[in-house]
Structure 1
C-alpha cells in the first residue's frame, strides 16, 4: 500500500528569492519566483558536504565555498564541478512534499 509523501514545509515557510534546507531528507527547497518551488540535493558536488545556507539567490556550501543558483542548481562559484542535482517536490494545498 503506497504511503503519503512526508510534508517538508508549508509554502509560506519558503521565502521568495530564497529557500530552506532539510538535511535529514537531503533536499533544499527554493522559491526563485512567487509560486515556483524547486528541489535540489543538499549534498555539495565538490566533496559531499551538506550545504548550509540559502541567501542572495544562491545555495552555499561552507566547506570549500561553492555556491549554486536557486533557479537551476548551477555552479556560481567555488570548486564544485557540477550543479546540484534536482530533487522532485510537489505542492498540494499549501504543503511541499518530497517526491
Structure 2
C-alpha cells in the first residue's frame, strides 16, 4: 500500500519543521549579542550632563549614569528589580521607580526603600575624556 501526501500532511510537516528550527539549541540569545548587552565603546553622554550627587536616565539604553561624588561615575540598569519598570528620576541621592516607589542608592545601586529587594545591576562604563561610554 502506497501512502500519498495530502495538503494537510505537508502543512503539518512544514509547521513541525519550522517549530523545531525555532527551538534552536536552547541558547537564550544572551551573552555576546550586541542587541542585549549594548555595544562596547558606545558613547552614552557627556560627563557634563551628569550632575554631582545625581544622575541621568538613558531610557533607550536602559541605563542610569550617576556621579555620587565629583569625578566618580557609576552606571546601573534602569530597570527596577521589583517588577521591571523603567526608573523615572534621580533625586536626593536615589534612583527612583515610579511604579511602586522603590529607591536605589546612586553610589552602589543598593535598595534604599522597597518593595524591591535586589539592587540595580551595575553596568560597565568608562570615562574617555569628556564622554561616558559603555565598557
TM-score w.r.t. the length of structure 1 is 0.94
Q: Larger RCO: Structure 1 or Structure 2 (Cα < 8 Å, ≥ 6 residues apart)?
A: 1
For 2:42 and 2:124, the matched residues in 1 are separated by 13
Aligned residues between the structures = 97
TM-score w.r.t. the length of structure 2 is 0.69
For 2:53 and 2:76, the matched residues in 1 are separated by 15
Change over 3 Å in CA distance of 1:4–1:46 after alignment to 2: closer
- 1:32 maps to which residue? 68
**Cα RMSD after superposing both structures:** 1.2
- 1:50 maps to which residue? 86
What secondary structure, in the 3-state scheme, does the structure 2 residue paired with 1:82 have?
A: coil
- 1:92 maps to which residue? 128
Question: Which runs of 5 or more structure 1 residues have no equivalent in the other structure?
Answer: none
In terms of fraction of residues, the more helix-rich structure is: 2
What secondary structure, in the 3-state scheme, does the structure 1 residue paired with 2:60 have?
A: helix
For 2:43 and 2:59, the matched residues in 1 are separated by 14
- 2:115 maps to which residue? 79
Question: Which runs of 5 or more structure 2 residues have no equivalent in the other structure?
Answer: 1-38
Deviates more, 1:4-13 or 1:54-63: 4-13
Larger Rg: 2
In terms of fraction of residues, the more strand-rich structure is: 1
For 2:62 and 2:126, the matched residues in 1 are separated by 16
